């Protein structure tokens, strides 16, 4: 079942998914959230600073493959780090294989993963939950800052490349993945699994947000992403475990810094929210 033929179709589906997720997470129409986000960027220097910092690290990851060319890394640590796992991957993939599961996993891996990242910013901004917004930005930044050095100096190849009996099922639904998407993700950029670390980080942050609907979806997304990295033949158990450890660290530090940033320098947007809440309480009494 072919879902995508190019990055244009991925972009189109991602835009639609972000819109739906913001509506789901906020119970409000997405255009109002987009307006509030743009207004926040224009009126709050702190909001803008966190946003720019997060965007900068995303750009670093996008250009990480260019950085690899400047380092002479010729060794392969795949067997060194993953040799303890044995050969369970082929049996797992074969047991679960079906066209519909492949399509779901590819859609979540390629589209929903990045859409939840973007929608999280919108949800926390719409909720005026700036503590979670700051926490999310810092946690995402930490994920990439810690993972990129591993991608540069700890090369671990993807499962399908190292194990001939494992198929790269991504190509069943995204035939042009190697050409269209691979430039964003190197074949040996496997340890730790950023899809795992970021999806679990987003779920951990959502769990502290007070937004139950968003928390539930974030954990569902994390579960499907973890299933997908194994089922599609991409990541090792080692990668997943390292990704989970990274997510706990990034979320913990992110929440601490987010709470500090929110407490030490209250944002005007948050003050307006508190003022409205106090006014409504006064009218109610």
Evaluate if residue 95 carries a pLDDT over 50. yes
Report the percentage of the chain scoring pLDDT > 70: 87
Q: What is the mean pLDDT of residues 247-262?
A: 95
pLDDT at 180: 78
Distance of CA 41 to the CA centre of its chain: 22
| pLDDT tens, position by position, 163-215 | 999 999 999 999 999 887 766 666 778 999 999 999 999 999 999 999 999 99
**Domains with residue ranges and CATH for the chain:** 90-265 (1.20.144)
| CA-based torsion, 35, 36, 37, 43: positive or negative | positive
CB atoms within 10 A of CB 1: 11
- What's the rounded Cα separation, in Å, for the pair 54 and 254? 12
pLDDT at 16: 97
Q: Does pTM surpass 0.75?
A: yes
Q: What is the mean pLDDT of residues 246-263?
A: 94
The phi and psi torsions of 157 (rounded to 5 degrees) equal: -75, 155
**Closest C-alpha to 136, from 60, 63, 214, 193:** 214
* 157 close to 78: Cβ distance less than 8 angstroms: yes
How is residue 260 written in tokens?
Answer: 């500090």
CA dist 109 → 169, 218, 242, 268 (Å): 12, 14, 18, 37
Evaluate if residue 273 carries a pLDDT over 60. no
CB atoms within 10 A of CB 238: 19
Average pLDDT of the residues of the chain:
88
Evaluate if residue 264 carries a pLDDT over 90. no
Evaluate if residue 68 carries a pLDDT over 80. no
CA dist 188 → 61, 79, 245, 275 (Å): 14, 12, 20, 51
Helix (H/G/I), strand (E/B), else coil: 156? strand
- What's the rounded Cα separation, in Å, for the pair 90 and 273? 53
pLDDT at 282: 43
Evaluate if residue 64 carries a pLDDT over 70. no
């Amino acid at each position: 079942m072919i879902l995508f033929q190019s990055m244009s179709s991925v972009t189109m589906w991602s835009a639609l998914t972000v819109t739906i997720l913001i509506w789901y997470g906020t119970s409000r129409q997405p255009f109002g959230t987009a307006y509030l986000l743009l207004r926040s960027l224009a009126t709050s220097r702190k909001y803008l600073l966190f946003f720019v910092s997060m965007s900068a690290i995303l750009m670093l990851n996008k250009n990480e493959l260019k950085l690899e060319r400047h380092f002479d890394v010729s060794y392969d640590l795949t067997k060194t780090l993953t040799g303890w796992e044995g050969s369970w991957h082929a049996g797992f993939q074969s047991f679960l294989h079906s066209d519909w599961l492949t399509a779901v996993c590819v859609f979540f891996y390629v589209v929903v993963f990045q859409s939840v990242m973007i929608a999280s910013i919108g949800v926390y901004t719409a909720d005026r939950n700036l503590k979670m917004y700051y926490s999310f930005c810092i946690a995402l930044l930490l994920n990439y800052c810690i993972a990129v050095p591993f991608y540069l100096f700890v090369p671990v190849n993807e499962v399908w490349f190292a194990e001939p009996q494992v198929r790269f099922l991504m190509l069943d639904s995204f035939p042009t993945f190697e050409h269209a998407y691979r430039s964003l993700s190197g074949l040996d950029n496997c340890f730790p699994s950023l899809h795992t670390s970021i999806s679990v980080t987003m779920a951990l942050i959502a769990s502290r947000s007070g937004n139950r609907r968003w928390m539930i979806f974030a954990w569902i997304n994390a579960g499907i992403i973890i299933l997908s990295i194994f089922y599609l033949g991409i990541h090792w158990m080692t990668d997943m475990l390292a990704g989970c450890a990274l997510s706990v660290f990034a979320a913990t530090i992110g929440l601490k810094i987010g709470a500090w940033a929110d407490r030490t320098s209250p944002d005007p947007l948050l003050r307006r929210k508190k003022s409205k809440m106090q006014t409504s309480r006064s009218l109610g009494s």
